[in-house]
Every structure is written in structure tokens, then in C-alpha cells.
Amino acid sequence: MRKIGVVTSGGDAPGMNAAIRAIVRTAIPKKLEVLGFKRGFAGLLNNDVKPLGLRTVGGIIHLGGTILRTERCPKFATEEGIERASEVLKSNKVDALIVIGGDGSFKGALKLHEASGIQVIGIPATIDNDVVGTETTIGFDTAVNTAIQAIDRIRDTAMSHGRVFVVEVMGRKRGFLALEVGLTAGAEVILVPEIKRDIDSVCETLIRSRKKEKEYSIVVVAEGFGNSTSLVKEIAEKTGFEIRLTILGHIQRGGSPTARSRLIASLFSSYAVEKILESDESGVVGLQNGKVIFNSLEFVNKEYKPLNTELLQLAEDLAI
């Protein structure tokens, strides 16, 4: 019998539990033993491990967060950390490690694979959708829906007061979340870290909207675009409009995963287990053209995922 390890790493994302469930439920019938390392790489370094059985993962498909816990672990990135992790995996006789996490976690995954020779497979789970080589990640669809539901509430107040609302969504470096939230919430303006945009042109759009008898406007801004508080102040000064800022914050991270996040989690995870059964190749699972595919760890760590600027254009066209 072969053994696989599972770890959830980085920020939690809704659907991580559905992924853990799918790994365990597809692995065990194939005679793989599954060990769960708790609290991300931090737990891996401390050999904080427990076996995962078929019933351990029962009744969790709909739960947000991760039953394995997660933690940021700066020590892991060090040479010493990687070495310690290799030892722990080997002492537990782990043949392959599945890392459920985001961009940062896959950096560690590559180093660990290179240092230990152990097969390491990444499953992209992050609300930021910033993993290259995949169209979507576990948790992204949930976060988008959480954000637009929040904006639907804010819309009531925006309409009632005839106000402009600026809504800051997560995304320190990338604007995937802001873009999809902005498009589906019907925002007048979407501001992303990837594209510099002049505040004057934002003001013009808002003034033009007002002239077209739009009684309220919504601006969606990724946290990485700049300082939202200053942004709001500047727009208010330049337009004379009453503007309110809402920072959605951590509510975007939690909650029961949507159907799509659960589905993606199930597809990615069963694919990862199959991969382990049929080869010792390391890599990261992804979705391309609607199909589950496999990218190398090197590719995922090196390449840059472009933002869909056509979608951004569409969003602006639709907010006319």
C-alpha cells in the first residue's frame, strides 16, 4: 500500500473541505492510505499528522474553511524548513503530497519536490484565482457570489440615497475577483491592480452616469489598486458627489462553497489521485477550455496569468 499526504496551505478558500473529501474518497478504494497534515506547512514541519478515513470526511462537503486548518509559515520557505519537511514526509513514508492552496503554496511545493524527490501535486484553491494555467480555482466562484450578494444589499442603500458606493474587494496583486464581481454586479467602474487608471477618467465616467439619469453608481476596486480611502476622498472632491466606501474584507473568504466550487474541488481532487496512481509526475491540476488538465510545477511558478481585458471592456460596455 502507498501513502499520500494532504495539506491545506495559505489563506483558506471555500471548497477546501470538498477537496479533502474527494481525495480521501477516491484514494482509499484504490488502496492508498491518506495522512492529513494540520495547519498547513507549519503542521507539516511539526509532524502534526492524522490519518484521514472515509468517515472523517463525511458531512463536510458544504462547510467553508478547512478541517485540516491552515497557517502562514515563513519558516517553510527556508532551506532548513524544506529539509525538515522532507524528513517528516519520509518518516511518515509518504509517497506523494497533495498541496491544496494558492500561488504562494506552490512555490513551496516546487522546492519541496526538488529537495525531496517526493511527488508533489498542487490543487489550486484560492479566492484570488491567481494561479496560472487554470481558468478557475476552488473558492473563486464562492467569493464572487459572496461579494455580489453584499453589493446587492449595498445597492438598496445606494438607490435609496442616490449615492456612489465604492466597494473594495480582495486582491492585493491581481484583479480577477474585482473584474468578475464588477461585471456581474453591474458596476460602473472596475479598478484592478494590473491596469493604471486615471482618477479623472473615473470621475468623468461617474459624472456621465449621473447625467444619463443613473441615480446611483457602484465602483468595484481591488485592494491592490491603491489606497481606497484616498481614492474615495479624491473622487468626492473632484465630483462633489456623496460617496461611501465599503471594504468587504474577510466575509469574502468564508461561507459554504457554491456548487461550482464544490464541483471544481471534486474534479481537481479525483484527478490528482488518478495522477498519483498512474505516474510519479509532479505538477498542478487546472481547468483549461473547460477540461481538467495538468501543468508542471515549474510552469505554474514561472508564468504570468493574464487578466481578461476583453471581459473588462464588456463590463464597461454593459454599464453604459
Q: Which are the catalytic amino acids?
A: 128
- Interface pattern 263-282 for its own copies (x via CB under 8 A): x--xx--x------------
First to last CA, the chain: 61
User: How crowded is the C-beta side of 180, counted as CA atoms within 13 Å?
Assistant: 20
- Interface pattern 26-55 for its own copies (x via CB under 8 A): x-xx---------x--------------xx
Stretch that binds its own copies, among 16-24, 87-95, 200-208, 275-283 (CB under 8 A): 16-24
Number of residues in the chain = 320
User: Is residue 164 near its own copies by the rule CB under 8 A?
Assistant: no
Which of 79, 198, 278, 317 contacts its own copies by CB under 8 A? 317
Query: Least CB distance from residue 136 to its own copies, whole Å?
Result: 9
User: Is residue 74 near its own copies by the rule CB under 8 A?
Assistant: no
46: exposed, middle or buried (Cβ count in 10 Å: 0-12, 13-18, 19+): middle
Q: Which stretches of 59-195 are DSSP H helices?
A: 79-91, 103-116, 140-161, 176-185
Nearer to its own copies, 69 or 298 (CB): 69
Per-residue CA distances from 120 to 60, 102, 106, 168, 250 (Å): 24, 14, 9, 35, 29
- Chain residues 231-260 in contact with its own copies, contact rule CB under 8 A: 244-251, 253-256, 258-260
The number of residues that bind its own copies (CB under 8 A) is: 84
Stretch that binds its own copies, among 12-20, 79-87, 107-115, 224-232 (CB under 8 A): 12-20
Q: Which stretches of the chain are DSSP H helices?
A: 16-27, 40-45, 79-91, 103-116, 140-161, 176-185, 199-211, 228-239, 259-278, 297-302, 309-318
Query: Least CB distance from residue 90 to its own copies, whole Å?
Result: 27
Stretch that binds its own copies, among 74-82, 108-116, 199-207, 312-320 (CB under 8 A): 312-320
219: exposed, middle or buried (Cβ count in 10 Å: 0-12, 13-18, 19+): buried
Can you name the residues that pair with 294 across neighbouring β-strands?
285
- Chain residues 175-204 in contact with its own copies, contact rule CB under 8 A: 180-181, 183-186
